[in-house]
Structure 1
Amino acid sequence: MEDKQYDYDMESGDAFFEELEQDIVEKGYFKTHVQLTKSATMIQIHFHTEGTVGLTCDRSLEPFEEPFISDEKIILKYGDRNEELTDEIEIINRNTPRINIARYIFEFIALSLPFKKIHPSLRTEDDKNGLTEDEDEVVLVYSSQSDDETDEDEPEEKIDPRWEALKKLKGE
């Protein structure tokens, strides 16, 4: 390959996910635009993928289609060995004749899926913790009084007479 930019468009479906040995996605359809920029020291690959995958709801176990969009980039630097430096940067052998980008496409699809797989009809319900998306702010209340000061100012709590009698038996 010459040192220049190459553009590729590809699309795939269920056969792509069946070919890979994984349990995350079984069905789906997507289109990917790959922009590969080759230079003397590295290859930069930009992936733009859009599509839908078939998932199973974690709550109702009903199948549903989840749309996704992924826009990721990976840099392959030439070196003496194959090594993954970071999530975005890898070293490949200078004599590598072919690069299989299927694993990158799958990883980016898998990373774009939601952690909780909830059917769209159930997404309006509150989560088990009672917070909706708008309520995930935390309110911090600050008081300048120490715990010792608050105990003195507050009247002693009234204790149920039944518990008071039990305390006497216990010797308190």
Structure 2
Amino acid sequence: MMEEKNAYTIKFVGLKEGKHQFDYHIKDEFFEFFEYDDFNTADVKANIELNKKANMLEFTFDLTGVMNLDCDVSTEAYDQKIQNRLELVVKFGEEYNDDHEDVLILPWSEYEIDVKQYIYEAIVLAIPQKRIHPGVEDGTLNSEILDRLEDYQPEAENDNKDEEEIDPRWEDLKKLLNE
């Protein structure tokens, strides 16, 4: 596990000014550190570009991949494609400060940065809040739960209209709408 801990640490002190590329393949084990298990499986590629400048670092995190999630409606598992981009500017100062969302201040003495937290946040933010199986949306998913939900749907209001007497003025207005 020690190697895993340092796997997401980028040492920027020895790098020349300019752009540098770092690629990571994120699997299920990555999320154990964060105790995040709100998914079945993960297969995400994280491409990080570091643009080193004389007085600051600019990171661009591009994440693409697939997370296998459980549908909120049917509880059926499905593959959710995810994609996200996160930009981070690292400046140097007297003390550590991460109060701002996209600016991090590191002490002058720092020589490396752990990007694990930023990868994690970018992935979690890319997962939709409401998880709906594509088969639920297009009606192609056959599921016992969906069948049960359909059985408990309220009856259509059209059945009750025959029993009620409708004001003839409303009928005339409806005819105008339909023309």
TM-score under structure 2 length normalisation:
0.63
User: How far apart, CA to CA, are the structure 2 residues paired with 1:12 and 1:52?
Assistant: 10
Letter in 2 for 1:37: N
Identity within the alignment, %: 26
Equivalence for 2:161:
none
Q: Does 1:7 align with 2:21?
A: yes
Letter in 1 for 2:64: E
Equivalence for 1:59:
73
User: How far apart, CA to CA, are the structure 1 residues paired with 2:40 and 2:117?
Assistant: 15
The 5-angstrom pairing of residues 75-114 of structure 1 reads 75-114=89-128
**Which structure 1 residue ranges, 5 or more long, are not aligned?**
126-172
**Residues 30-72 of structure 1: CA distance to partner in whole angstroms, max 9, x if unpaired?**
1121110112221110111110112111112222211111122
Equivalence for 2:10:
none
**Higher RCO, Cα 8 Å, sep 6+:** 2
Q: Does 1:115 align with 2:129?
A: yes
Larger Rg: 1
User: How far apart, CA to CA, are the structure 2 residues paired with 1:21 and 1:93?
Assistant: 29
Q: Please give the root-mean-square deviation of Cα atoms over the aligned residues, in Å.
A: 1.7
**Residues 111-142 of structure 1: CA distance to partner in whole angstroms, max 9, x if unpaired?**
111110111111236xxxxxxxxxxxxxxxxx
Secondary structure of the corresponding residue to residue 99 of structure 1:
strand
**Which structure 2 residue ranges, 5 or more long, are not aligned?**
1-13, 140-179
In the alignment, is the contact (CA less than 8 A) between 2:28 and 2:43 conserved in 1? yes
Equivalence for 1:35:
49
In the alignment, is the contact (CA less than 8 A) between 2:97 and 2:104 conserved in 1? yes
User: How far apart, CA to CA, are the structure 2 residues paired with 1:114 and 1:93?
Assistant: 35
User: How far apart, CA to CA, are the structure 1 residues paired with 2:137 and 2:93?
Assistant: 47
Secondary structure of the corresponding residue to residue 85 of structure 1:
coil
TM-score under structure 1 length normalisation:
0.66
**Residues 79-101 of structure 1: CA distance to partner in whole angstroms, max 9, x if unpaired?**
11111232111111121232111
In the alignment, is the contact (CA less than 8 A) between 1:18 and 1:26 conserved in 2? no
Q: Does 1:68 align with 2:82?
A: yes
After superposing on structure 2, the runs of 4+ consecutive aligned residues of structure 1 that deviate more than 4 Å are none
User: How far apart, CA to CA, are the structure 1 residues paired with 2:61 and 2:109?
Assistant: 23
In the alignment, is the contact (CA less than 8 A) between 1:55 and 1:63 conserved in 2? yes
